[in-house]
Structure formats: C-alpha cells, structure tokens
Amino acid sequence: MKELVILTGYSGAGKSTAAGLLEDLGFFCIDNLPPEVAYQVASIVLPSVEKLAIVIDVRGYMFGNVIKAIKDVKERFPFTKIVFLTTKKEILIQRFAHTRRSHPLSKQTTSISEAIDLETEMMKDVFDIADILIDTSQLNPHQLREKLTMLLESKQPTGFTVHVISFGFKYGIPLDADFVFDARFFPNPFYIQELRSKDGRNEEVKEFLRNVDGVNEYVEKIRSILEFAIARYRTEGRKEITVAVGCTGGRHRSVYFAEELSKVFENAGYETTVEHRDVALG
C-alpha cells in the first residue's frame, strides 16, 4: 500500500530528526519542498516508491497557499497523512539558545520569542487540519521514532483509532491531545507505602482503584463523551482521536485509566494505542 506523509511543524520541533527517522522506516524523503509544487512532485515520485515523505518548513509558508497545496495533494492521494510537530514555546526558546541557530523568521522579528509567535500564527491553519500532532517537548530521538512508528503503522484505510496517553500534570499537558481528562480527584496510591513503587498496570494498584467509589463510573462517563465525539468526527472525515488522562505524577491513577479506556475501546471494535508518557518519572 502506498504511503504519503507531509511532515511539517515548528522550527526547532525536530523535523530534521523526524525526516531521518522516516527514512529509516523506508520513506523516500524530500526536504524543504515549496508547497505549491508538492502535488506535482508527489505525482512524479509516488509511482516509483511505496513510501514518500515531503517536508515543508516555515519558509515554504511564505510562498503560495499552503492549505490549498496540501488539500490538492490529499484530494489526489487520499491516503496522505499530515504530521505536525509541535513543542512548547519555552522549550523552543531553550533549543535555539542551546544550538545558537537563528530562527528562520528572525529577520522579520526582533527576538526569538516574536519569531516563534509569528511562526505559530502562520502555521495555525495547517496545525488545525493535521492528521497527526506530535508534541516533542519531552521526546528524545528514540522516543520520537517509537511514536512515529506507532502512529503511522496504526493507520488503516478504514475504521477509527483511539490513541490514549497517560501523563503527569506536573510535567505538562500533552499538546497533541484532542481531549484531556483529570484523575487527580481520586485517592492517590502513591501515599500507600506498598503501592508507591508500583504503577497503574500492577494488579495491586488496579485492585485498589477498582474499589474506589466513582472510578468505574468515571471510565463509563469518559467512554460516553468520546463515543459522542467520535460519531461526529467520523462525519468530518476524521479517523482518529488522541485522549490524555492525567494525575499528579503520571504513574498510578492516569496509567490505570489509560489502560482501562484502551481496553474499553478495543473491545468496542476500535483500533487502540496506549502510551504512558511519564510513568518512569512519576
């Protein structure tokens, strides 16, 4: 089956690293392509390769209508996936300071902060239509590879995919989540000595949380909300959502709820993935 990825996102978010990883996954990558020729290039290259990745950075957004160019590609090649890399602003500032590289929009602005704000505004429309959003704020190259592999390989021509992420609020909310649910109002197993070193996948922790009043009801309410949203996403042509569940440290409660939600949707016939972002930190 043919695969076409349009890789874009904020400067400093890791597009070059992601492009290299896509090459390792068998993609033929074309970097820094002007968006207005993306359709022509894809038409020429795709007959000869199985996997094609086109990388568009902010410089390409200065020439032509990026949204129209991308929609033209998706109309001709409906299997196209737009992968958008995003990162928290403070992390981007740190990365530019560390590498001492200039931001591509530095000549149009007076500071890195202003350049990032301008880039965010320029890319807003593409951000809104992206099929896959990846927040690289806390990802190293190995983790980025795992996430790219998981998200791209989970894509199917039919069906609907539910991606579930557990996280700790003290490490920040995942920027690529469509829905964020809070589990901090339930008792924290961290304060039980024999459960502290375990996580929400451990049977003792699961047994503890199953017996907490309201836990099962909360899983059911989240399921109901997501089923309602999925039905409407389908009418808009969406084929996936990303759901994040957080607790304080991302080790016990959020992990438990992420595992339970993943099972609920898998049993309902959805394709599911589950990621425990902060389980080793909490």
- All structural domains of the chain, each given as residue ranges with its CATH number in brackets, are 3-153 (3.40.50.300), 161-276 (no CATH)
AA letter at 171: Y
| Residue pair 3/52 in contact by the 8 Å Cβ criterion | yes
Q: What is the pTM of this model?
A: 0.63
- The binding site consists of 9-16, 57-60
| DSSP string covering 96-107 | HHHHTPPPTTGG
The DSSP bridge partners found for residue 83 are 7, 132
Q: How large is the average pLDDT for residues 191-205? A: 95
Residue 63's pLDDT band, with cuts at 50, 70 and 90, is: low
Binding residues for ATP: 9-16
What's the rounded mean pLDDT across residues 38-44? 93
Residue 22 has pLDDT above 60, yes or no: yes
b/e code 144-181 from CB counts within 10 Å (16+ = b): bbebbeebbebbeeeebbbbbbbbbbebbbbebbbeeb
- Asked if pLDDT for residue 260 goes beyond 70, the answer is yes
Which residues sit opposite 275 in a β-bridge? 165
* CA 35 – CA 243 distance, rounded (Å): 31
Numbered residues of the known binding site for GTP: 57-60
- For a pLDDT cut of 90, what percent of the chain falls above it? 65
The CA-atom distances, in angstroms, between 182 and each of 63, 227, 279 are 42, 18, 16
State yes or no: pLDDT of 98 exceeds 90: no
Q: Taking 90 as the threshold, does the pLDDT of residue 242 lie above it?
A: yes
Q: Which helix (H) or strand (E) holds 223?
A: helix 215-235
Quote the Cα angle for 69-74-77, to 5°.
Answer: 125
